[in-house]
Amino acid sequence: MGRPISTEMKAPSDGPIHSLLGDDQSLERLDPFIVSLGERIDAIQDAEGRGHLEEAAKTALELASEAVELAIPPLALAAERVAVICRLDDRPRVHEAIVALTDVVRRVRLGHRGAA
């Protein structure tokens, strides 16, 4: 009989996320962006908590746009999803989408060269 699969193993989708850009000039733009992610996700969460979904959508779209420019597709997709769901005013799904975005932000920060 085979060994049971460990439930503690992380799926590949739980690993770090890296920018697809590689030149030094891009890295100069990437560093401050990565540093700002904590504040930006906090702003989205705070707007949701206050019921200001349009504000959350706007902030998420700005984040998505920069993620596209910096070649971080998973972050761009997660932020765009938050914006779309906010604009649909689907509050239970907004919260789920923000939780998912928060996890993507965590993974991007893990993939940053300054991560410990």
pLDDT tens-place string over residues 76-105: 999 999 999 999 999 999 999 999 999 999
- Each domain of the chain, given as residue ranges in start order, spans 23-111
* Residue 2's pLDDT band (cuts 50, 70, 90): very low
Q: What pTM value is reported for the model?
A: 0.82
d(CA 77, CA 38): 18
- 19-28, 55-64, 106-115: which has the minimum mean pLDDT? 19-28
Give the rounded percent of residues in the chain with a pLDDT score beyond 90: 66
Q: For domain 23-111, which architecture applies? A: Up-down Bundle (1.20)
Please tell me the predicted confidence (pLDDT) of residue 4: 41
Structure tokens belonging to residue 40 = 């930006």
Closest CA to 74 of 41, 100, 112: 100
Mean pLDDT of the chain: 84
Q: 3-class SS at 52?
A: coil
Q: Which residue would you say has higher pLDDT here, 52 or 28?
A: 52
Which residue carries 């085979």 as its tokens? 2
pLDDT at 21: 73
